[in-house]
Amino acid sequence: MYAQAEEVLRRHGYGTSDLAFVGAGAQSACYGTDEVAVLLSRSADADRVADLTGHVVPGSEASTTCNNYAVLRWLATRAADAGVRTPRFLAVGEEPRPYAVVERATGILAADHPRVAEHATAWFGQLGEELARTHLVRTTGFGMFVPDGAGGYRGRFGTWVEYLDNWLGVHLCVGRSRPEDQKVLDLFLAQGIVTEGDLALVAAKVREAQEWPVASVLTHYDNRLDNLVVDSGGAADTDKPDGPDGPDGAGRITVLDWGLSLAGIGIAQELIKLFETEPTSVESPRVAAFLRGYGLSLAEAVEAVERGKLMLVMDGLGMSYGWADDPDRLGGIRAWLRTVSRLCREWA
């Protein structure tokens, strides 16, 4: 792929003398210079760029799904225009394979930072600030993005109720029952971790969520330290009170990876990935910093956490659904079912 990255850069007028391999994920291989990065699809077929190791966003019937490079450019542009610190997409194309040329984020991945234990709480606080700006971007519909017929994109489902009805049908066989969906549900119950009563409680909670007052906003979703770059350099954000190095010298973050972003409801869904590694409570320092950075009062934060718990359960059952045909994923399914069981006990 190195030669293909060179070809792409030359086509768009960028030098290649310092081009080097940066890293790879399930969707893309990344090569970069000091100036820009090139994302190359790991599949030559753009329609198959959707495999993100089993991550499933509620509202999709596909077992795995993500945004292609054209959607990513549209999303990242809107986020950057709203003031979010995120690299802009400079070009996208299909030859020699689907690709994107992106501004290079300078710094160190937060997950790899030598002082991650010391500064992660501050970074999550900054992330809350960035997501507050992200949610200024209004979207249409709910779910993963599909073309809107006017050169932009909208959520797949027209309303929040339709989005949740689809989730109930696919993952809990409520309102409809396809044999393949029932088979997955039977697999979950056969593990002896969740009960039919637990799943009925989840369904009731989802029905309650249909009454939430919601607005469709750009929702990043994949809020992990792996998707933050920390830059402690001196040029950026010198007009902010905390200075260029962020609060307490923690450095300033840049937000990466809009691949799983959706037309969502904002903060409740933004908590999902944080809750995978942190306690589902405002007592968690990282969760508290995240919600404080977002600008929530304590009462608002408590409400966001409660809604985030349901979004976590929905996401976990969705991911497990996507893993159901892979015997190697059975341990992951069981781990998710234990999370569902724990939260159902809290709700009961």
Residue 340 contacts by C-beta under 8 Å, 6 or more apart in sequence?
A: 193, 194, 198, 202, 313, 316, 317
Sequence-distant (6+) residues with CB within 8 A of 260 are 52, 55, 57, 66, 67, 221, 222
Q: Flag whether 199 is in a domain.
A: no
Q: Which residues contact 187 (CB under 8 A, 6 or more apart)?
A: 324, 333
Tell me, what's the pLDDT at 61?
Answer: 46
What are the helix (H) ranges across the chain?
A: 2-11, 69-81, 116-134, 160-172, 179-190, 196-209, 267-277, 285-294, 298-323, 330-347
Lowest average pLDDT, out of 4-18, 168-182, 254-268, 332-346, goes to: 168-182
Residue 79 lies in a domain: no
Q: Please report the pLDDT score of residue 248 as a whole number.
A: 65
| pLDDT over 50 (residue 18) | yes
pLDDT at 44: 59
Full domain range(s) for residue 313: 107-154+212-347
Question: CB–CB of 113/249 below 8 Å?
Answer: no
Structure tokens, 306: 């409660």
Cβ atoms of residues 223 and 86 within 8 Å: no
| Assigned domain for 315 exists | yes
Residue-wise pLDDT for 155-165, tens only, equals 999 999 999 99
| φ, ψ of residue 253 in degrees (nearest 5) | -95, 150
Which residues partner with 145 through β-bridges? 155
Tokens of 70: 């054209």
Express each pLDDT in 187-223 by its tens digit.
999 999 999 999 999 999 999 999 999 999 999 999 9
* Average pLDDT score over residue span 95-113: 93
What is the pLDDT confidence band of residue 64, given thresholds at 50, 70 and 90? Answer: very low
- The answer to the question of residue 50 being in a domain is no
Distance in angstroms (rounded) separating the CA atoms of residues 301 and 309: 12
> Nearest Cα to 106, choosing from 274, 220, 235?
235
Q: Which residues of 131-145 are buried (b: 16+ CB within 10 A; e: fewer)?
A: bbbbbebebebbbbb
Give the mean pLDDT of the chain: 89
d(CA 329, CA 332): 5
Between CA 194 and CA 118 the distance in angstroms is 37
The answer as to whether 71 is a domain residue is no
Residue 126 belongs to a domain: yes
pLDDT in tens, 106-117: 899 999 999 999
**Per residue in 186-196, pLDDT tens?**
999 999 999 99
Taking only the tens place, the pLDDT of each residue in 316-346 is 999 999 999 999 999 999 999 999 999 999 9
Confirm if 119 and 134 have CB atoms less than 8 A apart: no
Cα(225)–Cα(124) distance, integer angstroms: 8
Q: What angle do CA 91, 95, 100 make, to 5 degrees?
A: 30
For the chain, what is the domain count?
1
Whether 179 maps to a domain, the answer reads: no
pLDDT confidence of residue 129: 98
**pLDDT for position 28:** 87
Q: What CATH number corresponds to the domain at position 318?
A: 3.90.1200
In this prediction, residue 53 carries a pLDDT of 30
Cα angle at 83 between 79 and 89, to 5 degrees?
A: 45
CA geometry: angle at 129 spanning 127 and 132, to 5°? 110
